[in-house]
Structure 1
Amino acid sequence: MKHFLSTALFATIFSAVSSLQAAPLYWDPSASTGTTLGGTGNWDEVGNFWYNGTADIIWASANGDDAYFTGTAGTVTLTSSITAGNLYFTNATGSYVLTNATGAEVLTVAGAIDTGGGEHIIGAPIVNSSTLNKNGGGRLHLPVDNGATLFGAVMINQGDVSVENNNGAGQSTSITVADGAALVLNGGTSGLTSFNPNVTIYGSGITNSGALRNLSGVTTFNGQIILGANNSVIYADSGSSLVYNGTTPLTDNGNNYNLIINASGSGNVHLGQISIGGSLILKGPGSCYSYLNSITPSAWKSTYISQGGTLYVENNNGFGTQPATLMTTNVLLDGGTINSIGTYTMYATDGITVTTNGGTLTVASGTLTSCNIYSQSNASFTIGGAGSSRPGGAAGITAGTINLGTGALIKTGGGDCNLGYANPSLEIYSNLVVNGGSISFNYDVTSGQVTSLGAVPSTLNASNIVLNGGQLHVGHTTTIGAMRGIYVGSGGGTIEDVTSGGTVTVASPIIGPGSMNFPLGKSGSTTAVTLTGNNSYAGTTTVGASSTLNIGSGGSTGTLGAGNTTDNGTLVFNRTGSYSYGGVISGSGTVTKNAAGTVTLTGASTFTGNTTVNAGMLLINNTSGSGTGTGTVTVQNNATLGGTGSIGGAVTVNAGGTLAPGTANSPLGKLTINNSLTLAGNLAVSVNRTVPTNSLVTVTGALANTGTGNKVTVTNLGPVLVAGDKFYVFNQPISGGDTLQITGASGVTWSNNLAVDGSIVVVAPAPNPVINSFSLSSTNLVMSGTNGYANGAFYLLSTTNVGLPLSSWSRVLTNTFDGTGNFSVTNQQTTNSQRYYMLQLP
């Protein structure tokens, strides 16, 4: 039931006070006998300035008459202390100013002051031995000057009273504000700074602007605020602050009333101790501080924050009474903001729910641990600020829960939000948007899958995680699943392994216009991130110092983005299949090629670290600059370096490694080394008697063979080689080249001129194989022969017209000779009456 102190009750009290039948006297300072009432003059008990309806008479305080100020308003100066029954400012034109001459004169009002609908000023002390009533819809100003103050109890029935100096209500024992009326605290720039009386408020004030209203300035409220009715309103105008500093809690006297805090613009209310049974309702755009000078707020049932409103908290009581059990709507964010300051832990039974208007938790400083966050209608929720938040709780603390349905969890500000600190139950099935700061993940020790995002989507969600200026911090050996797509916006994104010794695998594809950064983890030790998704983000890639970025994990997937790469750590290509990267690699880091696949680099790179080929093939196919920067290039056992581009650093091919100039599409290409080459491994070249004649390695620096038993393997891609065919496989003599063994080209005998001029020469062509056995088995023709090249390839050609040129014969199969040069083939016969066969060597 609402309890309103009605104006009818006030009127009854006023009627009792006014029962002495005081005479109405009208202010007539010009002594016009009522002709021109109103104006400026002195109020004393000497002059004939009061019109009684027939004549102007002298004011007599002892009579308790009522003073009427009508007509044209002016300044009325008390030159002596005056007593009146009631003051009426009805039917006045303009605003009256009542002041005193010396500051010592006092105005005693036995009943009420009625301002009518206007604004009037009383700049003198106002005394009442019982209760002073304020009537009329206008405003009564108690200004800064001349000691304007209220004494005794005050009832504001209608309109408002504006207190504008520290003594304006300093002598009042209590002030009661009726529904529809207001007490206005108006400090301005130099007036009211503190307010001491106890105030009971009913209702929302004048046009919902507060039964207690701080109009301007910063006012410290030292008395007690009492809620006389449900949903009573405290209001702060833009730029002002009301600071509740009472030693006795704000109370509703056990009536379970709600308190509404409202404001305009930047207005704010600082709440100290509170003890109410209802809810704290904060309406925007103002703000409310539920702390003050380490005073712990006492109790209220729940909190509602509307759109634009901000509730500032600094301890676990900042949301009122601790619920006995989990209360998901203990704090209802209807587009509002919670701003946390300090380091503390919320109650495990506190719940925050956002409406369709969304909501924000800003951790401005310190660390906020453990909170339960829910969503109505799949609304999004924002966590911001420079401080740290741990919805997952801490050791020994019940883990928090975030359940936003399909709503997005949005991270802004510079702080970290640790979603996996104590393995919370998170259900975020739509987007995780990181616009600032970082979000940290937990991991599943069994599967290695990130658990802090709830269930893995069954189909690819291309923007399950959005990075736009923010970071993902992932610990231990963890995988971000392939169905969790990552979208990086123009603000860029960061993925960081924050623990030493683990590897974070990002299986989800990364798309979008932004750039990606993979820095050194917070542990300060070497950390690694592995990309196994098909990434197409358009921006650059940065690998931090002492950090490793793996492209692939030994399988056939994993790519960089489309842009250039700054490598200050270790960039590792660890994938099978074929992958080509066209960006420029810069920085001080290294590049490593692992796994059996082929990686092609086509950019003009400038990185200063070394390149190591541990497995598979690395093709350098740049058209300008250096495909491998300025560092050295080392080819290890069972690995191959090739391509048609240029290498800037010194190249070493270790034993078991292979240097293979050219590519599959350009097998007779040239690989340029603008430095030295040390060959302890093998060389693989292709030749063709036509132009161009062979693949080539051009070396501008020192060229030396340091291996033992290493080989040059030749593949003939053209017509049968003949004696005298010469091929330059190096552009200069190679020191120690005479020890290289030359093999290949189907049994050709070679002369080694490598140490002389970098060439090899055909001494004798390979002997022709001989078909020496034919047999017919059913419809199959079986042919066998000898004199082939051991393990070499051959083609079987066929035609029905022996007169055709060789180029018109059909190739019916490809096969190889055995280890001794023998062969046997079976070919199904057709209905042709005759057919001719020929063996051809590559």
Structure 2
Amino acid sequence: MMDRIVDSKAGMSAEPTREPSFDHRLLRGGRMTKWKGEAASYAPNLARLASTAAPVLRGALVSAALLAGLGAVPAGAADLYWDVNGTAVGLGGTGAWNTTSLLWNPSSDGVTGPMASWNNAAVGGDNAFFNGTAGTVTLAGPMTAHNLTFGVAGYTIAGSTLTLTGTTPTISTAGTTTISSVIAGSGFTKVGAGGLTLTGANTFIGDITVSAGGLGLASDASLGAAGNGVSLANGTSISSTSALAASRVITIVSGRAVASSGALTARFTGAGGLQVLGTISNDANDYTGQTVFGQGTNGFTSVADLGFASSLGAPTDAASGTITVSAGGGVSGNLVYSGDGDSSNRNWSFNNTSSGGNYLQNAGTGTLTLTGGILAGGAYGLTMNFSAASGDMDLLGVISSSAARAIAFTGNAGRIITVGNANTYTGPTT
């Protein structure tokens, strides 16, 4: 049984004493409040321990524990719903987002209340929900938030700077949502089936993970710091009004993502494949999944043998390396090469519709040499055209067809198309 306690600060020994419970003593310099019948101006767990009648030490150790317990506890994150009409029926609307107006409802029903103003100082950031009637929400000053959830299409966030804070912020969209405010803070995860369009010259630092839906950009600056990357999950998409930087890295995590317009200048990498809508032009692309071109006329700037980087990636097996040109919506797929001369052993597959054939055109400055097989596919016997517009073509692989499709070889003056191997297509040659 312990018979004495040494106070190391005072250098004296003291007999153990029992302190009265906190219900019966006054703490100097503190304010007493009640928690389940016990005085507690600090964390409830500490109050329960301290209010027992166990032997305790007087002096420095007790003072330190009490000071820690009496510290202020900041408000945690809350879920708040944008609600410009207060507790009247309905959520959402157009208005100014600030830190003074009572425009936020803690209840998703839009009527319960009580209404609150936005708290920029919430630890980890409060979560903002935008439901009901879509509108333009204009930031009257800098705002800080954690997660943003847009439950309906049509919202626009405009005005001052929006800072994303807390652990792994998310932006969820059910439909098309636009953020024109400058986004600062950290990167985020895009979730929800809808599209998110960023138009500001953003300053956030950190990657964007697109887990669902689409990401639209006004320019490379919309992606924040130059070192920020983008990760695309299967079935997601990315587009940009103007060209992204060639150094901007977009990782296709798995499956197949869709890229269009200005996004096709970025560097694509990863284990997934890509559906291309436009001209893909970064010759350092090394993604290893399959490349599929959408219907209409699209293009590429380089192609290489399996396993080597090119604008069409660097797949390592024949199936992933087969370049497919799709058809759909009554529109056949056409493909234009605009490089300075390339050679590839990869295979090609062209599909058509009842409304038209396909063509592969060399509009570049050098010879395009293809040693892999070329399939003129589709169920319709319409012409597959190989065109040497400004560069020559060497078609040295087997040209085959899935229907009696005519195969045409055309070119401008002075251009040469060389056809080799024992081709197996069954339609006429023109």
**TM bucket, shorter chain:** 0.5 to 0.7
Query: Take 1:488 and 1:632, find their aligned partners in 2: how far apart are those partners?
Result: 35
1:308-327 matched pairs, under 5 angstroms: none
Counterpart in 2 of 1:531?
197
Matched residue type, 1:269: T
CA contact 1:567–1:607 (8 Å) conserved in 2: no
Query: Take 1:288 and 1:698, find their aligned partners in 2: how far apart are those partners?
Result: 73
1:683 deviation in Å? Answer: 1.0
1:627-666 matched pairs, under 5 angstroms: 629-644=287-302, 645=310, 646-647=312-313, 648=315, 649=320, 650-655=322-327, 656-662=332-338
Counterpart in 1 of 2:388?
714
Query: Take 1:404 and 1:271, find their aligned partners in 2: how far apart are those partners?
Result: 39
CA contact 1:417–1:440 (8 Å) conserved in 2: no
1:510 deviation in Å? Answer: 4.6
1:482 is paired with a residue whose SS is: strand
1:472 deviation in Å? Answer: 1.8
> Which of 113, 116, 135 is residue 449 of structure 1 equivalent to?
135
CA contact 1:551–1:560 (8 Å) conserved in 2: no
1:504 deviation in Å? Answer: 4.8
Question: Is residue 622 from structure 1 mapped to residue 294 from structure 2 by the alignment?
Answer: no
**Structure 1 residues 418 and 575, CA gap change in structure 2 (3 angstroms):** farther
User: Which structure 1 residue ranges, 5 or more long, are not aligned?
Assistant: 1-144, 146-187, 194-217, 222-234, 238-262, 274-284, 293-308, 313-335, 340-359, 363-383, 410-415, 521-526, 718-726, 759-842
> Which of 133, 144, 153 is residue 466 of structure 1 equivalent to?
144
1:514 is paired with a residue whose SS is: strand
CA contact 1:661–1:670 (8 Å) conserved in 2: no
Matched residue type, 2:130: N
> Which of 505, 508, 532 is residue 180 of structure 2 equivalent to?
508
- Summarize deviations over 1:355-385 as a string: whole Å, max 9, x none: xxxxx5x3xxxxxxxxxxxxxxxxxxxxx15
1:419 deviation in Å? Answer: 7.7
1:600 is paired with a residue whose SS is: helix
**Structure 1 residues 686 and 398, CA gap change in structure 2 (3 angstroms):** closer
1:550 is paired with a residue whose SS is: strand
| TM-score calculated relative to the size of structure 1 | 0.34
CA contact 1:495–1:517 (8 Å) conserved in 2: yes
Query: Take 1:574 and 1:716, find their aligned partners in 2: how far apart are those partners?
Result: 29
Higher strand share: 1
**Structure 1 residues 716 and 677, CA gap change in structure 2 (3 angstroms):** closer
1:271 deviation in Å? Answer: 7.0
Matched residue type, 2:110: A
Counterpart in 2 of 1:705?
376
> Which of 27, 36, 40 is residue 236 of structure 1 equivalent to?
27
1:546-561 matched pairs, under 5 angstroms: 547-552=212-217, 559-561=222-224
1:643 deviation in Å? Answer: 2.2
Query: Take 1:483 and 1:404, find their aligned partners in 2: how far apart are those partners?
Result: 9
Query: Take 2:143 and 2:208, find their aligned partners in 1: how far apart are those partners?
Result: 18
1:580 deviation in Å? Answer: 4.8
Query: Take 1:391 and 1:219, find their aligned partners in 2: how far apart are those partners?
Result: 43
- Summarize deviations over 1:803-832 as a string: whole Å, max 9, x none: xxxxxxxxxxxxxxxxxxxxxxxxxxxxxx
CA contact 1:443–1:478 (8 Å) conserved in 2: no
> Which of 4, 20, 25 is residue 192 of structure 1 equivalent to?
20
CA contact 2:347–2:373 (8 Å) conserved in 1: yes
- Summarize deviations over 1:602-636 as a string: whole Å, max 9, x none: 4250132x4223x4x1314132x52xx23222222
Query: Take 1:538 and 1:634, find their aligned partners in 2: how far apart are those partners?
Result: 32
Counterpart in 2 of 1:728?
393
Query: Take 2:291 and 2:409, find their aligned partners in 1: how far apart are those partners?
Result: 25
> Which of 417, 426, 436 is residue 124 of structure 2 equivalent to?
436
**Structure 1 residues 697 and 580, CA gap change in structure 2 (3 angstroms):** farther
Computed over aligned residues only, the root mean square deviation of the Cα atoms, in angstroms, reads: 5.0
CA contact 1:640–1:658 (8 Å) conserved in 2: yes
Matched residue type, 1:465: M
Question: Is residue 740 from structure 1 mapped to residue 402 from structure 2 by the alignment?
Answer: no
CA contact 2:125–2:165 (8 Å) conserved in 1: no
Question: Is residue 612 from structure 1 mapped to residue 275 from structure 2 by the alignment?
Answer: yes
CA contact 1:574–1:593 (8 Å) conserved in 2: yes
**Structure 1 residues 433 and 518, CA gap change in structure 2 (3 angstroms):** farther
**Structure 1 residues 682 and 269, CA gap change in structure 2 (3 angstroms):** same
| Identity over aligned pairs, percent | 12
| TM-score calculated relative to the size of structure 2 | 0.61
Counterpart in 1 of 2:52?
none
1:605 is paired with a residue whose SS is: strand
Question: Is residue 479 from structure 1 mapped to residue 165 from structure 2 by the alignment?
Answer: no
Counterpart in 2 of 1:270?
34
> Which of 543, 567, 571 is residue 232 of structure 2 equivalent to?
567
**Structure 1 residues 405 and 606, CA gap change in structure 2 (3 angstroms):** closer
Counterpart in 2 of 1:543?
210
CA contact 2:159–2:180 (8 Å) conserved in 1: yes
1:684 deviation in Å? Answer: 1.8
1:676 deviation in Å? Answer: 2.8
1:585 deviation in Å? Answer: 0.7
1:528 deviation in Å? Answer: 2.3
Matched residue type, 1:633: T
1:256-267 matched pairs, under 5 angstroms: 263-264=29-30
1:280-359 matched pairs, under 5 angstroms: 286-287=41-42
1:219 is paired with a residue whose SS is: helix
Counterpart in 2 of 1:8?
none
Matched residue type, 2:375: A
Query: Take 2:291 and 2:323, find their aligned partners in 1: how far apart are those partners?
Result: 5
Query: Take 1:697 and 1:417, find their aligned partners in 2: how far apart are those partners?
Result: 64
Matched residue type, 1:705: A
Query: Take 2:129 and 2:156, find their aligned partners in 1: how far apart are those partners?
Result: 10
1:512 deviation in Å? Answer: 3.8
Counterpart in 2 of 1:593?
259
**Structure 1 residues 740 and 422, CA gap change in structure 2 (3 angstroms):** same
**Structure 1 residues 710 and 271, CA gap change in structure 2 (3 angstroms):** closer
Counterpart in 2 of 1:677?
348
CA contact 2:409–2:417 (8 Å) conserved in 1: yes
Whose relative contact order is higher, 1 or 2, with alpha carbons under 8 Å and at least 6 apart? Answer: 2
1:542 deviation in Å? Answer: 0.8
1:161-176 matched pairs, under 5 angstroms: none
1:598 deviation in Å? Answer: 4.5
Query: Take 1:670 and 1:408, find their aligned partners in 2: how far apart are those partners?
Result: 62
Query: Take 2:281 and 2:36, find their aligned partners in 1: how far apart are those partners?
Result: 71
**Structure 1 residues 550 and 268, CA gap change in structure 2 (3 angstroms):** same
**Structure 1 residues 658 and 476, CA gap change in structure 2 (3 angstroms):** same
User: Which structure 2 residue ranges, 5 or more long, are not aligned?
Assistant: 1-14, 48-66, 303-309, 352-357, 424-430
